[in-house]
Structure 1
Amino acid sequence: MNCIILDDEPAAIAILERFIQKVPNFQHLRSFYNPTDALAFFNQQPVELVFLDIQMPDVLGTELVKLLPKGTQVIFTTAYSEYAVEGFELRATDYLLKPISFPRFLEACNRAIENRISPHFANEYFFVKNAHDWVKIIWKEIQFIQSDGNLLYFHEKDKKIITRMTLKDIIPQLPVGQFIRVHKSYIVSLSAIRKIERHQLHVQNAIIPITNSYKDSLEKHFGLK
């Protein structure tokens, strides 16, 4: 399960990062101090779980959670117990009071795993408009998705499907943990990657550029750093 941390306290982030490293099958993608940066990250790749502080400058975590993509699980981390009722009304996966012990943290992680549902992956396919027709696309057959302005190109092994959409439109619909953004114009199926080089990667029938701003998440996913 991949996750990010959003908290305005460096010490709190350090503790959560250390705890996540101890949990099997949990992947820490990024930590953020700023809600704006965290929200922008959701446009880069799907995120399954957010460890979210409540009392932050400019915006409360209980307000921010309403802006997250549908299906994102949230574990609130806060020093203020008075937000607990509101947290659960927002269907938070769990509510951790600081200082957080590791056993309690692990309990929350186990709950997230039990709740692990990707609503966009419930169906193995979806339809897009191609000219005057609706064309069926099967997630598992996608090699990579390429953006060109307001057009998206879905590249499969032996065909390409074009539709009028943007990457911002499609990212919230991607099956969690199946795709990753590697460039402002490219999203790649993780299972299709055959080779990763310094500035590009290979899928079965194409070479895809990688930019530095996305390379860190890619390398972390495969345990390359």
Structure 2
Amino acid sequence: MRLLLIDDEAPARAKLRRLLQAQPGITELVEAADGLSALALLQRERFDGAFLDIEMPGLDGLSLAQQLPTGLAWVFCTAHQAHALQAFDLGAADYLLKPYTPERLAAALQRLRQQLLRPEAAAAAGAGLRSALQQQQPIDAHWLVEQRGALVKLPISAIEWVAAADNYIELHAPPQHYLERRSLASFLAQPAAQGFVRVHRCHAVNAAHIQRIQPLPHGEAELTLSSGQTLRVSRGYREQLRG
């Protein structure tokens, strides 16, 4: 597999090259220091996949992704999680947050290979979600939770997902979770919960923590969150997300 590494920081390219060279199936690694240079290379040469930084001078990674040739699979590599939803909507195979581990890079490479094999399924995974899962910046708001008999401020940005449990909700902020007497609808109605979206009648997710959207049979989907937790998106809610 021939890959193009696009990043304006030479040390970042060097690290990515070193880690990819340890992976099987890589035949050649070519580097580009900015988006315009990458486009010029892509017009002259054929690549199987690309690893793109997002924040680059001139043509940034998001703009570059919209101009990539058909048949090329790509992964975003960035230090900022705020662009994850837009990345999936553009059709990224994965969204790799810096600093990443060799294990996480291997998983991203596997998803890139899967997209090359099944491009139509990979594109469907994130299509249309941006209209409802708006790109989220880290939220500074806090939620008061009970811990050992005292009220403690829990940053909303730390909460990955919220589950309905009868007349209670479970706030999941890995590795901790908290129980509160409140309905899921009531939680979602609060201004502090504006970054959450309901994807199932039993749970809602913090959009900033979505790392992957995988299509499933019968119109459903599966989300992977920052902690590795996977959650089902029911068909009805997925269709609503498509707007």
Task: Report the TM-score when normalising by structure 2.
Answer: 0.47
Q: What is the aligned partner in structure 1 of residue 36 from structure 2?
A: 36
Instruction: Quote the sequence identity (%).
Output: 35
Q: What is the aligned partner in structure 2 of residue 184 from structure 1?
A: none
Q: Which moved more, 1:63-72 or 1:20-29?
A: 20-29
Distance 1:47 1:118, change over 3 A: farther
Alpha-carbon distance in 2 for matches of 1:66, 1:40? 15
CA deviations 1:167-217 (Å, max 9, x no partner) are: xxxxxxxxxxxxxxxxxxxxxxxxxxxxxxxxxxxxxxxxxxxxxxxxxxx
Tell me the amino acid that sits aligned with residue 29 of structure 2: L
> Does the 8 Å contact 2:50/2:73 carry over to 1?
yes
Q: Which moved more, 1:76-85 or 1:26-35?
A: 26-35
The reply on whether 1:12 has 2:12 as its aligned counterpart is yes
Q: Show structure 2 runs of 5+ residues with no match.
A: 120-243
The reply on whether 1:86 has 2:75 as its aligned counterpart is no
1:11 partner SS: helix
CA deviations 1:138-161 (Å, max 9, x no partner) are: xxxxxxxxxxxxxxxxxxxxxxxx
Once the two structures are superposed, the pairs formed by residues 51-90 of structure 1 within 5 Å of their partners are 51-90=51-90
Once the two structures are superposed, the pairs formed by residues 115-194 of structure 1 within 5 Å of their partners are 115-117=115-117
Q: What is the aligned partner in structure 2 of residue 113 from structure 1?
A: 113
> Does the 8 Å contact 1:71/1:117 carry over to 2?
no
> Does the 8 Å contact 1:17/1:28 carry over to 2?
no
The RMSD of aligned alpha carbons is 1.5
> Does the 8 Å contact 2:71/2:116 carry over to 1?
no
Q: Show structure 1 runs of 5+ residues with no match.
A: 120-225
Q: CA deviation at 1:115?
A: 2.1
Q: What is the aligned partner in structure 1 of residue 99 from structure 2?
A: 99
1:59 partner SS: coil
How many residue pairs are counted as aligned between the two chains?
119
> Does the 8 Å contact 2:17/2:29 carry over to 1?
no
2:87 partner SS: helix
Moved over 6 A (4+): none
Alpha-carbon distance in 1 for matches of 2:28, 2:16? 10
The reply on whether 1:26 has 2:26 as its aligned counterpart is yes
Tell me the amino acid that sits aligned with residue 30 of structure 2: R
Q: What is the aligned partner in structure 2 of residue 213 from structure 1?
A: none
Structure number with greater CO (CA < 8 Å, separation at least 6) is: 1
Q: CA deviation at 1:58?
A: 1.6
Alpha-carbon distance in 2 for matches of 1:18, 1:47? 19
Q: CA deviation at 1:42?
A: 1.3
